[in-house]
Structure 1
Amino acid sequence: ERGRAEAAVALKGETSDKGKTLHKAFSLKDVSEYSESKDKLDESIEEIKKHIALIEEIIKVKDTETSKLESRKTVLETAKKDQQNTGGGDGSGKPDEA
């Protein structure tokens, strides 16, 4: 409230249309209360944006981990198929029974 009152006083002698409008806005009690509520809302929005950014980072890390696991799985499956194709049997390491 004090900051808004100081702003209103500072803008009192302003001659531009914008300055006059700002002076009037800072002088009105309801506008001041609205502005304070808006400031709190803006703070909440900023906090939410920070949380979203953190969640996006977590998702990115999880996606990277999943990608690495899928790559490893593909390598293992390819190795298993190669082993089966080169006479390694069923890939279990046990000799084939005739």
Structure 2
Amino acid sequence: MHGLESLHSGMRGIVHPWTSCARNGVRFFVYGPGSHAVWAPETPMDGTEVPVSGGTTWSTLTFTVPKVSEVRGIGIQPYAENDVPRVVAVDAMSS
């Protein structure tokens, strides 16, 4: 991803994801120095997933960059309540 060097703690990220199944959610995290994953304040643990629209609708989700000294990567962890195969896509991300 381009522009990671401009991200810092407290900034808001906007993501536009889509999934083929309506009963999904995601958690957000960033990789700090040493490839250490730090979860966004909105989704700090299992069970705090943000719902993602399914089918023909794209979602617009917002997350906060957690406290890290440097952002080395951004991650989105999909969640599903069953083992049905599905597709998850991200159209765009901005800050």
Higher Cα Rg, which structure: 1
Q: TM-score, normalised by structure 1?
A: 0.15
> Between Structure 1 and Structure 2, which shows a larger proportion of helix residues?
1
Q: TM-score, normalised by structure 2?
A: 0.16
Higher RCO (Cα < 8 Å, 6 or more apart): 2
> Between Structure 1 and Structure 2, which shows a larger proportion of strand residues?
2
